[in-house]
Structure 1
Amino acid sequence: MTLKDYRLSAGIIIITLIVAAASSQFAGMAGAVAVVVAGLCMLALSVLTEQRTHAALQQQNHQVILGRIAGDVAVISGPDGVILASRGQFQGVNLSDIPLHLSGLAADDASRRVAADLREAADREDFSKGEMRLLCADQRPLAVRIEVETDPDGLRLWRLDDLTELAAARELAVQEADRAVEFLDGLPAGIFVSGKGGQMLFSNRVMNDWLGDGRDLQAGRARLQHFVFRDPDGLFDPEVWTDEQERRGRVSFAMEEHSPFDASVIVNRFEIGGDQSPLFRVLVLKESSETEEMQLALRQARSRLDAFFERSPIGIAELTPSGEIEEANAAFARIVGAEQDKLEDRPLGSFVASDDRELLNARLSKMLMGSARGAEFEARLLGENDRTAIFRISPRFDAEGDTDGMVAHVMDATEQKNLEVQFAQAQKMQSMGQLAGGVAHDFNNLLTAMIGFCDLLLQRHSAGDPSFADIMQIKQNANRAANLVRQLLAFSRKQKMEPKIVDVAESLSELSNLLRRLIGDHIALDIQNEVENGLVRVDPGQLDQVVINLVVNARDAMADGGSVSVRSSSVSYDRQIRRGGDAIPPGDYIRIEVADDGTGISPENLGRIFEPFFSTKDVGAGTGLGLSTVYGIIRQTGGYIFVESEIGKGTTFTILLPIYGDETARPTQRRKQAAPVTDLTGKGNVLLVEDEDAVRMFGARALRNKGYTVLEATSGEGAIEVLNNAKVDIDIIISDVMMPGMDGPTLIRLIREDRPNMKVIMISGYSEETIRGDFGGDDQVHFLPKPFSLNELATKVKEVATNG
């Protein structure tokens, strides 16, 4: 309520008081007090009504915002930190500050620091994100990614995603590396690894203890020449290091401010990148004696050291300042898809897709210039499998502390990215499906009333009546709208299906003549069936609808003529494969490909092609529901559909349907339609339960016109009352499925407790399969889908009344 409204309400109250004071109907002080109280109550009621309306609008707005926030948990909080709406585990919790609450659940100090950073970012109204570990109620750790941003109205929008599996994989890799280092640290000998240029790459704890101070070694800055005091056998001579034979001798080691010590040394060339990328491992024994036990220990140490490098799950590459590879391990070669012995001197950017190469080069340049201490980013790799890797690059320093190169650590993130894409696509399509299903349900009620009242009007207007054509136009357009609703239900996977065993090749052959008539003479149609006994379990009519829709779309893309091919074949997968955002399990499939050589689909439209109401055709040339219907039918059948297209070359839709596994199965013959019932009149008492007034009014009038006695109820509770107070026996109950309060299935279960043989007809805008499970396979429950006509309603009631 605005200030103006308050002033108006106050003025009305004052005028009322003045008039009342002057009236002879109020006597004395008691009358005046009563009038004041009445006026204040009027003002309070007005304010309360406005507040409730405002709160309802706010709640609707919050639900819309929640629908746009992805993630496992979504939360909206006000500037004061109080939760306003949520989806997930924080529902109903009045928290003063979400990050502070997460700090209380944090599993470690690092997680608490992340929570504090998020809290500060929220206070600044900045976008921020972070990863942290929480403790569940059962003390199980949960890794999450949290994002927070502030919308223009000052609301804080939170998104939480579960990263537990990814974090566990990372932790496992780190633990394996730690165990290998721990093993080397426990050996009774000094071990270090050097590159071909003499740079120290690794030294174990024993070696560090012998040298007195291992900080320079561990930082990767030292070279052999800095701590080799005396090398009489020339073991570390650069020319000798090219020799592939194992070399033994005595060397004196020392660091600054430490006395030298003599040791027996074994130098062995260790290949991890082919002949062009050697490493050298050095085993140092302080004692000069070489017993059999010590030799065995050294051989075991060398073997484990080989395994340490070769089995590393993380790709590692030493880079020159200009970004060329000096050395790389086997994991790096596997991730980038190259041969290990051909990696040396290749630029790191040569393995990255051209679109991401500029980003990589920019990060490397910043690091070498000293403006960045490291870089971490994702980049797509070259190749046909659309792979993605995470690169973590850090500078490498020489003995003087100057940057002389870089070290790249690479992890394959393809699986993670595929899961993210699949999850995002599934969420988007599920949200659209829920919206489409809800809209279809409401429209089915409207269309039932429109079609039904048209039928009632047509009973009073003959074909020669001037109004007859107008009524028919209304009914025909209502039927067209009903067809659109069926397409919406197909996309939301809530349409009625009658799956049967179908031979795909036979079905396509039967469809060929119709397809040729649909596309016209200016387009060539080629149907190829390359599979025998390709049986699938689908709704035959819906499979025909899918193929017709795809062929007609292909026709529309070739206004000047062209060709369309429909090809069926079989394909088998012995392992799970990924295509687009879908994970296809191993098994045998029938593949149907519909290809054209038309104009093609642009990349920006290709990702939205299955969205409802999205169309690239001119306004009025299509509904935008064709391909979304195809998508819904195929996914409801348990199959998969993909699209590939190139501008100017054409488009190919590929459908995969699981082969029906029963070898003894035979294709189901298409059922002939039963002869229509001519006499729709009848007798009996019908209880019609429907909360939509227009649908209930039409149904009651239609049945009364056919001779039935109709009792009406607007809710499940009302139906129980009507049934208990009825002076006649009810023969049939017709009930809507979805109603406020008690729904249809609950109503029927309660009635069946006292009347187990009651005949029931359920009406709903959803498919029979969607609601059939609510009745536990009860054969006496019949189904009539909305929208229905007068004849369809009368026919179903006649059938149930006659046959039960």
Structure 2
Amino acid sequence: MQVTAVQFGLMICGGIMLLLGIGLFVEAYRTGSREMQVGLLTQDLIAHEADSAFLTSAEGVIRYANPAATKRFGDFQGSPLRDVFARMLAKPEPVLQRMMARVALGGAAKEDIVTRRGHFRLSVTAFASDSMMWRLDDLSEGANAGPGLTESPAGGPPVMTVGANGAVQRMNEPLRTLLGGRPRTLEEVFTDLPLRSGQIHIVQTAGGQVSAVVAQIDVSEGASDIYVLPAETVPAPRQIGAGWDAIEDLPVPLLKIATEGAVLASNREARQLLSVTDTDGMRLSDLLDGLGRPLSDWLREASEGRGGNVSQFLRGRGENQDTFVQVTLNIAGMPTDVHLIAVLNDVTELKTLEAQFVQSQKMQAIGQLAGGVAHDFNNLLTAISGHCDLLLLRHDEGDQNYGDLIQIHQNANRAASLVGQLLAFSRKQNLQPEIIDLRDTLSDLTHLLNRLVGEKVTLSLQHDPALAQIKADKRQLEQVLMNLVVNARDAMQGSGEIEVVTENLTLKEQMVRDRAIIPPGEYVVVKVIDKGHGIPPEKLPKIFEPFYTTKRTGEGTGLGLSTAYGIVKQTGGYIFAESEVGKGTQFSLLFPSYDLPVAEPLSISSPPPELTGGKLDGVVLLVEDEAPVRAFASRALRLRGYTVLEADCAEAALEMLKDDELKVDVFVTDVIMPGMDGPTWVRKALTDRPETKVVFVSGYAEDAFADDKSRIPNSVFLPKPFSLNTLTQTVQAQMQDSVNA
């Protein structure tokens, strides 16, 4: 076979490359052997070192630890070096990474490390290609004396280590310089034992007694490190008290206060709580207020020991006035320089909840008062309007007294409307709910609303074409809308546009708004929007309170919105307010939609049309504790031909019914009476007379005894005040039901 020139050339190149590979392998073997020899030699060199030493890879994995390191830290062969130093440093990674970066630049690095266990020097040197040697030199005095802080470098904090019996075991140079020597016991250092960590104590120094903050840290069983931070160690420009640096970062707001009220110092938490960046030159009264008397008097009493560590609830000042702070004072300092340490606690949320609870109690109390007044007033109105009806029966339109009687009757009705507002606020008014379309209601109300707003205010209505129906008392709902429109008119100062918008709203999930939880479902929303001056944010949560008004004195009673709130809530709806100063206010009413009309039962408070005819027969037992009401009702029923038996209390009625010969067709009874109430005595009477019909009358709403009424058959409700015709028609309807049955 003949070899071509090309093939011959390739063979030569291959031989050359083979020789080069063999040469590189031999050199690598020699290098690796040399590095291995260097590593073994280094191990021999550090094996007998008194200080801890380690050989690691370039990544910091321990390949060898000398006996001193193993004795001190344990066997960490194959572990990262950070695991070793984690026993003496809280975060060793930054230190090791910093030193390894310096090794990469210069081949070696050295750094002094001061911990509470002592002063150490860590050095590292790179050798071979991927190896490092680490040395840990202990520079502490008595390095082998066991745990506890020993000598620290010059400029470190004064510190000493003491045993369980109070004997001083070691101390560093700054503390020896401060004390002017090396005492043997704590009694020689402090004059006010026992020590309380974080508190100020009196220290006996070479120059006399000084105040210092003491921090005590347990380092082993029976031994502890005690740091002493005297006034001289505090930087002068800050002009803060002894050892304040030690508590600057504490998670507890603290103030140092002079007895006359000047704020001497504050830590970071206190400044954040009080929303200030610096307290230099400020007084406590510049930051807090609300004690009801001068704060200087309280501080003076506390400095004299008469405060008794009693906490006070104070309120922030200026823009911070919505913040509430609990302040507890403690006496501190030397007898010649007494000052106060104030511990602050943010109680804003607690005070907010307390204010809400108090407001809830106040609203409940006012509601009960309004309901009680309305109930009693309804009895009076029933007697007034009832006797007026009796007089009208004896006077025709041509009589000279007829006009006066009509005036009395009309004003009695107006008074009844006013009482209805009180009951609306207390949510105890008698509602007559019906299914209504808000578009029709607002259309009927537009003429009256336009007269209310005046000529310079434009009223615009916007309706959803497919607006759902709601179930509410039409008359009360009109009252709510009029109140909101009048408020909007006053807010715009006589000119502008008021928008009334209706729309459907579907909630697929519950909505939380203004502490109200709205369940999912279909709702109808009514919005009354104005472009007036708006309501300030601090006043907005109070607008539904009774007698609270943002208008000037004499321009409003403060009952309009509280009445609207009561009506809406009793209807089962929600009312919310949104406002921005200078831009306007929007009130939103949410009512559950009622799109499926249901055949309504005969309304209890709406008797059938007046029946005509002659005298009526039947026996009525009238039970009413109010004599004027009882007198009017009995006369009215007798005029219609009924036989009326009267009783002023439930007990008298039951006593009367013990006569088995007595026949009674209808019980007419008040609900709320002294002693036994109406539903209770009626249930007892019906056990022997189950077919007897019942008419309940009351100045309260029917809801006040709805549960009792549901358990009483053949009963209806008649709200006070009622007229002569209404009473007789209701009784007559019950009589007819009895006959038909």
Instruction: Tell me how far apart the structure 2 counterparts of residues 534 and 396 of structure 1 sit (CA, whole Å).
Output: 71
The answer to whether 1:426 aligns with 2:360 is yes
Give the CA deviation at 1:765.
0.7
Aligned with residue 679 of structure 1, among 588, 607, 612: 612
Question: 1-side partners of 2:167 and 2:374: how far apart?
Answer: 78
Alignment map for 1:18-33 (pairs within 5 Å): none
Give the residue type in structure 1 aligned to 2:325: A
Alpha-carbon distance between aligned partners in 1 of 2:387 and 2:561, rounded to the nearest angstrom: 33
Native 8 Å contact 1:591 1:655 kept in 2: yes
Is residue 729 from structure 1 mapped to residue 669 from structure 2 by the alignment? no
What residue number does 1:315 align with? 253
How many residue pairs end up in the alignment? 530
Find the counterpart in structure 2 of residue 228 from structure 1.
Answer: 175
- Check if 1:437 corresponds to 2:371: yes
Whether the 8 Å CA contact 2:424–2:566 is kept in 1: the answer is yes
- The within-5 A match list for 1:682-693 is 682-693=616-627
* Counterpart in the other structure of 1:550: 484
Q: Structure 1 residues 698 and 612, CA, compared in 2 at 3 Å: closer, same or farther?
A: farther
- Which residue type is aligned with residue 390 of structure 1? Q
Q: 1:611 to 1:377 in 2, by over 3 A?
A: closer
The reply to whether residue 759 of structure 1 matches residue 693 of structure 2 is yes
Q: Report the Cα offset of residue 478 of structure 1.
A: 1.0
Aligned to 1:711: 645
Distance (whole Å) between structure 2 residues aligned to residue 449 and residue 408 of structure 1: 65
The DSSP-based 3-state class of the residue aligned with 1:411 is: strand
Structure 2 gaps of 5+ residues are: 1-115, 117-145, 190-212, 222-245
Residues 1:741 and 1:230: Cα distance change in structure 2 (over 3 Å): closer
Given the alignment of the two structures, is residue 611 of structure 1 paired with residue 546 of structure 2, yes or no? yes
User: 2:25 — aligned with what?
Assistant: none
Aligned partners of 1:348, 1:537: CA distance in 2, in Å? 61
Letter aligned with residue 328 of structure 1:
R
- Residue 484 of structure 1 and its aligned partner are, at CA, apart by 1.4
Query: In the TM superposition, what is the alpha-carbon distance from 1:319 to its structure 2 partner?
Result: 8.2
C-alpha distance in 1, partners of 2:589/2:362? 22
> How has the CA–CA distance of structure 1 residues 791 and 517 changed in structure 2, closer, same or farther, with 3 Å as cutoff?
same
* Matched letter for residue 764 of structure 1: S
1:680, 1:706 within 8 Å by CA — same for their partners in 2?
A: no
Aligned equivalent of 1:379: 315
Q: Structure 2 residue aligned with 1:328, among 268, 281, 287?
A: 268
The one-letter code matched in structure 2 to 1:739 is M
- Which digits, 9 at most, give the CA deviation of each residue in 1:705-741, with x for residues without a partner? 2232322222222222333447552111111112333
Q: Are the counterparts in 1 of residues 610 and 725 from structure 2 also a CA contact under 8 Å?
A: no
TM-score (norm 2): 0.56
- Out of 386, 390, 393, the position equivalent to 2:326 is 390
Q: How does 1:101-500 map onto structure 2 within 5 Å?
A: 209=164, 212=167, 228-229=175-176, 314-316=252-254, 323=263, 327-329=267-269, 335-336=273-274, 376-380=312-316, 386-394=322-330, 397=333, 402=337, 407-498=341-432
Secondary structure at the aligned position of 1:461 is classed as: coil
The 8 Å contact of residues 515 and 548 in structure 1, kept in 2 or not, is answered as: yes
Q: Give the match's secondary structure for 2:176.
A: strand
> How far 1:414 moved relative to its partner?
1.4
Q: 1:675 to 1:762 in 2, by over 3 A?
A: closer
Aligned counterparts of 1:626 and 1:286: Cα–Cα separation in 2: 72
Tell me the TM-score normalized by structure 1: 0.52
Structure 1 residue 542 displacement after superposition: 2.8
What is the Cα deviation at residue 752 of structure 1? 0.9
> Deviation at 1:630?
2.6
Shift of 1:483: 1.1
2:135 is aligned to none
Write the letter of the residue equivalent to 1:677: E
Cα 1:601/1:227, change in 2 over 3 Å: closer
Identity of aligned residues (%): 36
2:396 partner SS = coil
Counterparts of 2:440 and 2:177, CA distance in 1: 87
Aligned residue for 1:792, secondary structure, equals helix
Larger radius of gyration: 2
- Is 2:675 the partner of 1:741? yes
Q: Give the Cα–Cα distance (whole angstroms) in 2 for the partners of residues 505 and 335 of structure 1.
A: 52
In terms of fraction of residues, the more helix-rich structure is 1
Residue in 1 aligned with 2:532?
Answer: 597
Relative distance call for 1:357 and 1:564 in structure 2 (3 A) is farther
Task: Report the Cα distance in structure 1 between the residues aligned to 2:474 and 2:428, rounded to whole angstroms.
Answer: 17
- Closer, same or farther: CA 469–509 of 1 in aligned 2, 3 Å: closer
Q: Which letter does structure 1 place at the counterpart of 2:176?
A: F
Give the 3 Å change call, closer, same or farther, for CA 527–414 of structure 1 in structure 2. farther
SS of residue matched to 1:795? helix
Per-residue Cα deviation, 1:135-183 (whole angstroms, up to 9, x for no partner): xxxxxxxxxxxxxxxxxxxxxxxxxxxxxxxxxxxxxxxxxxxxxxxxx
1:229 partner SS = helix
SS at match of 2:687: helix
Change beyond 3 A, Cα 1:198–1:498: farther
Residue by residue over 1:406-428, the C-alpha shift from the partner in whole angstroms, topping out at 9 and shown as x without a partner, is 64422111122123322332333
Which stretches in structure 1 are left out of the alignment for 5+ residues?
1-183, 215-223, 232-250, 260-278, 288-307
1:666 correspondence with 2:602: no
1:455–1:284 distance in 2 versus 1, CA, 3 Å? closer
1:445–1:692: 8 Å Cα contact kept in structure 2? yes
Change (3 A) 1:477 1:731: same
